[in-house]
Amino acid sequence: MAIIKKDTILPERSIIMVLYGVPGSGKTSVATTANNPILVDTDRGYDRAVRIVDTSVATKWEDILSDEPSFDAYDTVVVDTAKATLDDYLVEYVCRQNYKLKTNSLKRFGEIADQFKAFVNRLRAKGKDIIFICHDKEEKDGDTIKHSPDCTGQSKDLLVRIADQVGYVWIQNRQRVITFEPLDNFVGKNVAELGTIAIPNAPSKEFDTCMADIIRQVKAAIRSKSEAQRRAQELLADLRAKTAGVETTEDADAILADSKELPDILKRPFFTELKAALTEKGFSYDKDSKKFIRDVQTDSKGHDA
């Protein structure tokens, strides 16, 4: 496998999204507004969606594997639901392949995870976006009702781990919305840092491209973030090199000024690093002026050393 250099400008890549919500919230309908979708129906619900799209109706994992070559003609693979796929079809499949897994839950899930990740990786290698649909599972956490994708614990952890975005589809003030940000009462994942997104009413031109537009935003945000991280690392390396050569307070001031361009998450750790390095060079940080000053050392007669 080729090594990706740190200064490589990465192209847009395919994404993985998990959408969950209560039955009737429209999660499947909005998912199929993605670009050129194929719906993999494991929940017998394709005919209830607002939009009817090309559909692979599967009753077991072998059906999905059999239809997988046909997915080449599509840009987005929508799997409805992830629970049936992981907790039913794949459980039965791996146990048929090795009956001993029926009594060994740890090895059974390990094989399920391997099969699932291999499927996902094959699709991603072909540039397919993937959307996994889940029902909503409510769990009480003290006085709070927490919503999360309905899968067994290990399956849910696997889904959330591989996903770029995890969104909850719900109704807010009579408007269907998707919330990706993880909150006290919602499991979420928001790599692209999207706000709550209103789902347009169907049928409408805006609804017809709703998920395609969201995925476009996610891809652009991920690429932008990767580029921003690359620039931040370059700046950090430059600041460290300049720190090693500091001789005057003016040098130190210049580094402090340049460090303001670092992302917020890097500013405090770098300041701590800078302060330690300059202390060894005979500087101290003056909180009042917010600048580094050179410590004055004197000899035994009171003269500047």
Which of helix, strand or coil describes residue 228?
helix
**Does residue 230 sit within a domain?**
no
∠ at Cα 98 (95, 103), nearest 5°?
Answer: 65
**Does residue 289 sit within a domain?**
yes
Q: Say if residue 160 is in the same domain as residue 287.
A: no
Q: Residue 45's pLDDT band (boundaries 50, 70, 90)? A: low
**Does residue 233 sit within a domain?**
no
Q: Say if residue 52 is in the same domain as residue 166.
A: yes
d(CA 64, CA 42): 9
Q: Is the pLDDT of residue 11 over 70?
A: no
Beta bridge partners of 172: 175
**Does residue 72 sit within a domain?**
yes
Kind and range of the H or E run holding 149: strand 144-149
Q: Say if residue 52 is in the same domain as residue 191.
A: yes
**Does residue 126 sit within a domain?**
yes
First to last CA, the chain: 58
Q: What mean pLDDT, rounded, does the chain reach?
A: 87
Task: Read off the pLDDT of residues 147-172 as tens digits, 9 standing for 90 and up.
Answer: 999 988 888 999 999 999 999 999 88
Identify the domain containing residue 75 by its residue range: 16-222
Q: Say if residue 193 is in the same domain as residue 269.
A: no
Q: What is the pLDDT of residue 299?
A: 42
Q: Say if residue 288 is in the same domain as residue 204.
A: no
Q: Is the pLDDT of residue 252 over 80?
A: yes
Q: Say if residue 250 is in the same domain as residue 205.
A: no
**Does residue 163 sit within a domain?**
yes
**Does residue 141 sit within a domain?**
yes
How many domains does the chain contain in total? Answer: 2
d(CA 211, CA 147): 22
